[in-house]
């Protein structure tokens, strides 16, 4: 089967399979409950979204002037021709598109055009663990700081503590993360020598980068928790709980907080997308071997294959995480309909 033909089959598959899933999801709703149906529909939408994003990015990239082999260093025209032939760039764009699409189901994005010794899949596989580690650590910072600060600020609403904490939390979101990184690096790395400046070789090397990455989102979580908690605390059942003589601590931590966490759960999706994007600055600043740097660099270098791989990675992650966030949201709050 030629690559183009396979591409056509995949294209058809990307249209039809989600449609079937969608239909199945509709049927499953009656027989197996809303969870399965939700999952089916979301996966169906993911399929379509992936196809649309892939197509959009592919053609956007080709529309932009420049190509992966436009080195400024001198290159004879025939050398460029040779290179383009090697990567199939001499074929019609439609054919290239189908060929690229054909590899999508097997996550085969082809060889990387700038780092010639690697396939795109290898690069992503290498870079993902450090990035995930960084992202998870940032997430941990986000929740570890955000939730307690939010709770404190809400329970002491209007007090100096509230104002100070809210101000500090807002401050966290109010500076670009590289400024935060620069400001913290000075005392923690250079003056005191407590933390390593770059690389990811020891456990303590994760601390500072993930903090700089997570802090802005911690601030948002704190605000969400605060607002959510304030809202929950005015509700009748809380009054009832209080009236029953439950201690304020138990009311807040045991009951109200769960309700107040709902917006936080919804926020996880966008937060992770933000952490993903933010990581490309932080990875660069701290020289961490993650996928973040490839993200921008591949687009700047017009590395078509790596770019597409990164875009698809981003899309699937963001879409998937949003779906998971919705799912959790739905499970936590039965009033929300999963659709």
Partner 1 sequence: MSNAAPTRGASKSDSPGRLAWRAFRHRRSARLATAVLVVVGGLALLAPLLPLAAPSAVHLDAKLRGPTFTAIEGAAFDAAEIKDPGRLTGWLLSARVAVFGSWELPPLFGTDALGRCLLSRILWGARLSLMVGLVASIISLIIGVGWGAVAGYAGGRTDAVLMRAVDVLYALPLMFIVIFVVALLRGFRNAHPELDVNPSLVLFAVIGATSWLTMARIVRGQVTSLRSAAFIDAARACGARPTTILWRHVLPNVSPVVLVTLTLTVPRVMLFEAFLSFLGLGVEAPDVSWGVLARQGFDALTAVHASLWLIAFPGLAFALTLLAMNVVGDALRDALDPRLRGERS
Partner 2 sequence: MGGGFTRNLVLLGLLILTGLLFRSVLADATLPPADLVIANGPDPRSLDPAVTTAIADGRVLSSLFEGLLDVDPRTLEPVPALAATMPEVSEDGLTWTFAIRDGLKWSDGEPLDATGLRWSFLRFLDPSTAARFTELLYGVRGAKAFNDTGDGQDAVGIEAPDARTLIFRLERPVPHFAAILTLFPLYPVPRHAVLRFGAQWVKPEHYVCNGPFRPVFWRVRDRIRVVKNPHYRCADEVALQTVDYLCTESAAAQLNLYVNDRADIITEVPTAAVPELIRRYGEDATGEFRPTARLGTFFYRINTTRSPFTNRKVRLALSLAVDRQSIVENVTRAGELPARSLVPPGTRCASVEYEPPLVARFDLARAKTLLAEGLQELNLTVADVPVFEVLYSADVVDQAVAEVLQKQWETLGLRCRLVNMDGGSIRTAIRQLDYAIGRSSWIGDFNDPSNFLELFVSDSGGNRTGFEDAAYDSSITEAAPRAASDAERARLFRAAETRLLAEAPFIPIYHYVSRSMVKPWVRGYHRNVLDWHPPRWWSIER
**Is 237 a residue that touches partner 2 (CB under 8 A)?**
no
Instruction: Output the DSSP codes for 84-140.
Output: HHHTTTTS-HHHHHHHHHHHGGGT---B-SSSTTSBHHHHHHHHHHHHHHHHHHHHH
Which one, 207 or 227, has the nearer CB to partner 1?
Answer: 227
Asked if residue 170 binds partner 1 (CB under 8 A), the reply is yes
Q: From the list partner 2, partner 1, none, pick the one residue 254 interacts with, judged by a Cβ distance below 5 to 8 Å according to partner type.
A: none
Three-state SS at 333: coil
**Closest C-alpha to 110, from 65, 73, 58, 64:** 58
Q: Which stretch binds partner 1 (CB under 8 A): 10-18, 22-30, 104-112, 222-230?
A: 222-230
Instruction: Return the residue of 37, 57, 114, 305 that touches partner 2, per CB under 8 A.
Output: 114
Is residue 118 involved in binding partner 1 (CB under 8 A)?
no
Phi-psi region at 33: left, alpha or beta (left = phi > 0; alpha = psi -120 to 50): left
Work out how close the CB of 170 gets to partner 2 at its nearest, in angstroms, rounded to a whole number: 28
For the chain, what's the residue count? 339
Q: How far is the CB of 10 from partner 2 (least distance, A)?
A: 24
Of 83-91, 93-101, 226-234, 246-254, the window that binds partner 1 (rule: CB under 8 A) is 226-234
Residue 264 in contact with partner 2, rule: CB under 8 A: no
Burial class (CB in 10 A: 0-12, 13-18, 19+), 199: exposed
Among 12, 16, 75, 174, binds partner 2 (CB under 8 A): 75
Which of 309, 218, 226, 320 shows the shortest CA–CA distance to 271? Answer: 218
How many CB atoms neighbour CB 121 within 10 A? 18
Q: Which does 27 bind (CB under 5 to 8 A by kind): partner 1, partner 2, none?
A: none
Q: Pick from partner 1, partner 2, none: which does 138 bind, CB < 5 to 8 A by kind? A: none
Report CA-CA distances (Å) from 262 to 117, 236, 252, 328, 339.
Answer: 46, 18, 14, 9, 17
Residue closer to partner 1, measured from CB, 75 or 198:
198
Task: Give the Cα separation of 181 and 213 in Å (integer).
Answer: 9
Stretch 178-197 residues interacting with partner 2 (CB under 8 A): 189-190, 193, 196-197
Q: Return the residue of 14, 38, 54, 286 that touches partner 2, per CB under 8 A.
A: 286
Q: How far is the CB of 117 from partner 2 (least distance, A)?
A: 4
Q: Which residues touch 306 (CB under 8 Å, ≥6 apart)? A: 109, 112, 113, 114, 115, 120, 123, 294, 298
Compare residues 4 and 109 and give the one whose CB is closer to partner 1.
109
Distances (CA, A) of 19 to 22, 60, 104, 302: 5, 26, 18, 34
230 binds, among partner 2, partner 1, none (CB under 5 to 8 A by kind): partner 1
In the list 5, 12, 56, 94, the residue contacting partner 1 (rule: CB under 8 A) is 56
**Which of 194, 199, 222 lies closest to 209 in space, CA to CA?**
199
* Spatial separation of the C-alpha atoms in residues 199 and 130, rounded to whole Å: 10
Binding site for partner 1 (CB under 8 A): 45, 48-49, 52-53, 56-57, 60-61, 63-66, 157-158, 163, 166-167, 170-171, 173-176, 178-179, 181-183, 185-186, 189-190, 197, 216, 223, 227, 230-231, 234, 270, 273, 277-278, 280-281, 295-296, 299-300, 307, 310-311, 314-315, 318-319, 322
Binding site for partner 2 (CB under 8 A): 64-68, 70-79, 81-83, 85-86, 111, 114-118, 123, 126-127, 129-130, 132-133, 136-137, 189-190, 193, 196-203, 283-290, 293-294, 300-302, 328, 331-332
């Amino acid at each position: 089967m030629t690559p183009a033909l396979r591409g056509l089959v995949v294209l058809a598959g990307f249209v039809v399979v989600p449609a079937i899933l969608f239909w199945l999801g509709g049927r499953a709703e009656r027989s197996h409950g809303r969870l399965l149906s939700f999952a089916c529909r979301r996966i169906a939408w993911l399929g379509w979204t992936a196809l649309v994003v892939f197509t959009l990015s592919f053609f956007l990239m080709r529309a932009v002037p420049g190509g992966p082999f436009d080195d400024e260093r001198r290159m004879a025209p025939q050398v460029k021709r040779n290179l383009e032939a090697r990567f199939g760039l001499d074929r019609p764009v439609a054919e290239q598109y189908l060929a690229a699409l054909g590899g999508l189901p097997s996550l085969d994005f082809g060889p990387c055009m700038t780092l010639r010794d690697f396939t795109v899949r290898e690069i992503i596989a290498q870079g993902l663990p450090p990035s995930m580690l960084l992202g998870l650590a940032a997430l941990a910072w986000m929740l570890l700081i955000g939730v307690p600060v939010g709770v404190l600020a809400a329970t002491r609403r209007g007090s100096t503590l509230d104002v100070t904490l809210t101000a500090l939390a807002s401050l966290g979101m109010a500076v670009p993360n590289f400024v935060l990184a620069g400001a913290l690096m000075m005392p923690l790395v250079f003056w005191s020598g407590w933390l390593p400046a770059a690389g990811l070789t020891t456990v303590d090397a994760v601390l500072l980068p993930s903090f700089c990455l997570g802090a802005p989102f911690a601030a948002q979580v704190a605000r969400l928790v605060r607002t959510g908690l304030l809202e929950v605390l005015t509700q009748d059942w809380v009054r009832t709980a209080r009236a029953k003589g439950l201690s304020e601590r138990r009311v807040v931590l045991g009951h109200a907080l769960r309700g107040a966490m709902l917006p936080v759960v919804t926020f996880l999706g966008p937060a992770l997308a933000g952490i993903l994007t933010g990581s490309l600055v932080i990875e660069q600043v701290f020289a961490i071997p993650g996928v973040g740097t490839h993200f921008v660099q591949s687009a700047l270098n017009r590395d078509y294959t790596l770019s597409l791989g990164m875009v698809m990675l981003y899309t699937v992650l963001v879409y998937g995480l949003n779906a998971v966030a919705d799912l959790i949201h739905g499970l936590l709050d039965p009033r929300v309909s999963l659709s």
